[in-house]
Amino acid sequence: MRCLLLLLVSLTLPMVAQAALYTYVDDNGLRHYTNVPNDARARVIKLSDHRNVLSRPRVRITHTRHPGRHRSTGRPATTQSLENHILRVSMEHRVDPLLIKAIIKTESNFNQFAVSSHGAQGLMQLMPETAKDLQVTDPFDAYQNISAGTRYFRNLLDTFSGNIRLSLAAYNAGPGRVARLGAIPRIPETIDYVRTVLRHYRAYKQMTNRLTTSINLRRLVTVN
């Protein structure tokens, strides 16, 4: 029941106008990521566009490679461990876990070792440059990939004032394009991407609502 409650949590998204991501290490050796550079040690992370959408086919082709070829130290994740990772990072970065799940479904269909034809890697299809900037040492490690991808998406939500559609478009086409337009770019893949993620998101929410209703009904008819 605790997991169900966590999955049903919807979070308030703050309105922030910054379009950059900054990082710094505090006095305790902890690395921080923020879109508000309120510490003198903060340095900007130059995040490249998530993908070069204009130079690749509309339908991304992903394929599985043996994890050893990527020198991955991560083991293939179980369904339960993926759920646990999603719940953990959703609470840490204040993003609806069902939305994270919908992004992963769209990006890699939960294929931990997926690689796109343009080099995007892992569950949330991080580009190598973005993964490096977010301190990811193994993009095929399930937890690292989900954590970094969610942290990146959290920054996009902050950048675009909590607008999920624009944030999804930026995740696919790059924040620069979306910021310049102030709208979803008229790129067929990006338009389709946003629609697909939102369709999965709605489906996961409906599934969770049905499950919660079923549990409540069973409680009502239980006789001790």
pTM (2 d.p.): 0.69
Q: What is the largest CA-CA distance in the chain?
A: 64
Over range 64-77, report the average pLDDT: 55
Q: What is the pLDDT of residue 60?
A: 41
The mean pLDDT value of the chain amounts to 77
Q: How far apart are CA 166 and CA 156, in angstroms?
A: 8
- The CATH class given to the 2-221 domain equals mainly alpha
pLDDT tens for 183-194 read: 999 999 999 999
Q: Catalytic residues, which ones?
A: 107
